[in-house]
Amino acid sequence: MSSVSGSRAAEPLPYALLADAVLALHVALVLFVVGGFVLVVVGNLRGWRWVNAPGFRIAHLVAIGVVVAEAWFGVVCPLTSLEMWLREQADGSTYAGGFIEHWLSRVLYYDAPPWVFTAVYSLFGVAVAATWWRFPPRRRWRALKRAGDAPS
């Protein structure tokens, strides 16, 4: 009897930890999108060549593109849905729990009409796209040309 009830009592913990991990990942992605934009602008103004690496710039553009598309199509972020499901599985209410959950969710989630988020995400997406025009990603041939090894 104790083994059955003991195992059931232990079940919510992994779900709560996984929910916190998903929330941390979500915050990290938000920081990548916002921080990546800042890095591209500041880095180009300061001459940091690595901020124009194609892999970094493409990943950044795709990340904000997904956010903008979700907003325009009214799709709830899959990370938000997964986190909420994990919290439900942990028999907890959403955002009423531990330290990580409380503070990271305060950073990430705001209460506003959906059109506000769509407008903000869209404007941010336009700003990211504008950095592609103002500070284009580095191309191999441009890097070679700068080094004096460009083919004639």
Residue 1, amino acid: M
Predicted confidence (pLDDT) per residue in 70-128, tens digit: 999 988 889 988 988 998 888 765 554 555 556 666 777 777 888 888 899 999 999 99
Picking from 32-36, 62-66, 140-144, which range would have the lowest pLDDT averaged per residue?
140-144
pLDDT band at 150 (very low <50, low <70, confident <90, very high): very low
How far, CA to CA in Å, does 60 sit from each of 1, 37, 52, 99, 124?
Answer: 53, 8, 11, 29, 12
Q: Which pLDDT score, from 0 to 100, does residue 117 have? A: 86
Predicted confidence (pLDDT) per residue in 31-49, tens digit: 999 999 999 999 999 999 9
Picking from 17-26, 53-62, 142-151, which range would have the lowest pLDDT averaged per residue?
142-151
SS3 23: helix
Q: Which pLDDT score, from 0 to 100, does residue 46 have? A: 97
Q: Which pLDDT score, from 0 to 100, does residue 6 have? A: 45
Q: How far apart are CA 45 and CA 74, in angstroms?
A: 36
| pLDDT surpassing 70 at residue 8 | no
Q: Rounded to the nearest 10 degrees, what angle do helices 54-73 and 114-134 cross at?
A: 150
